[in-house]
Amino acid sequence: MKKALCIILALSVFQAMPQRAGAVGWQEEGTRYEMSDGSYAKGLVTIDGIKYLFDNEGVLTGAYTGWTKNNTTGARNYYRDGKRQAGWRIIGGKRYYFYYEGSAAVGDVQIEDKIYSFDEKGVFTGVTAEPIVYAKNISGSFYADELPEYISVPYFYNTNDTRYFQVHNAVHDGDIEKYANGKWELVEPNPDPPNSGICLEGYGYIISDSDDPAGEEAEDCLKIQTERYTGKLTAGKYRAALTVSYYPDGQSGDDESYEGTIYSYFTIE
């Protein structure tokens, strides 16, 4: 009888204790966030694309503003009100550039029409240089339900530069990328129509010290045939690539040549 009474009392005490709902999501009027394992979020946690800071007790302190560092890659990012920053930003009186896909730029980085120098912490040093060739981002947006026959990607080059370079039709094999799942992913072209899907206006290469009526700067463009990507150019952020081979001594085929890739970004709504 005593044993039965003890079991009944124990069950009564258990039933009287407040029980957790067990549902993943915000709890206690949005002051805590329950994880899938039943624990409360602590430290920095990203929820629905916003980074939040929780104290050691699991209580929300607010949307995070500050730096983060990936211990594996060393990449540094800055968040303001929980949102990762991209593009040019001034933080603490210093100027930084953050890639759209994440991380602060370091070293010498070409951003459209200039090469910028950043120190090991991503601070812009104030030093710039002129590139031989650069691509511009396409302003405005295209619309997925009424794409033009071609998307023209403009690139520019300095006709007074005596170095030789060659622009490759980098998207010949489908090097158009879409930003998805936190990274740039290749958009595979359809097998039909059978043409390459791109063309370069003018020649496939440029000798930059040749006479040109445009003066110090000339323009060419890469044209992306949208029919090749029917059904695949949906709403989102894209970039097209141009691979440039540089020949410092002014001759094609120079053993000391090197390659670089320049990007033109565009948006489809």
For 67, the token pair is 């730096």
Q: Say how many CA atoms lie within 13 Å of 177 toward its Cβ.
A: 20
pLDDT tens string 183-229: 888 888 777 654 444 444 333 333 333 344 333 455 566 677 788 88
Class of 133-268 per CATH?
A: mainly beta
Contact 260, 244 (CB under 8 A): yes
What number of helices (H) and strands (E) belong to the chain? 1, 24
Superfamily of domain 66-129: Cholin Binding (2.10.270.10)
Residue extent(s) of CATH 2.10.270.10 domains in the chain: 66-129
Average pLDDT, the chain: 75
pLDDT tens string 156-196: 766 565 555 555 544 444 478 888 887 888 888 777 654 44
Residue extent(s) of CATH 2.60.40 domains in the chain: 133-268
Output the 3-class SS for 86-113.
CEEEEECCEEEEECCCCCECCEEEEECC
In this prediction the pTM is: 0.65
* Cβ neighbours of residue 194 closer than 8 Å, sequence gap 6 or more: none
pLDDT tens string 52-75: 999 999 999 999 999 999 888 888
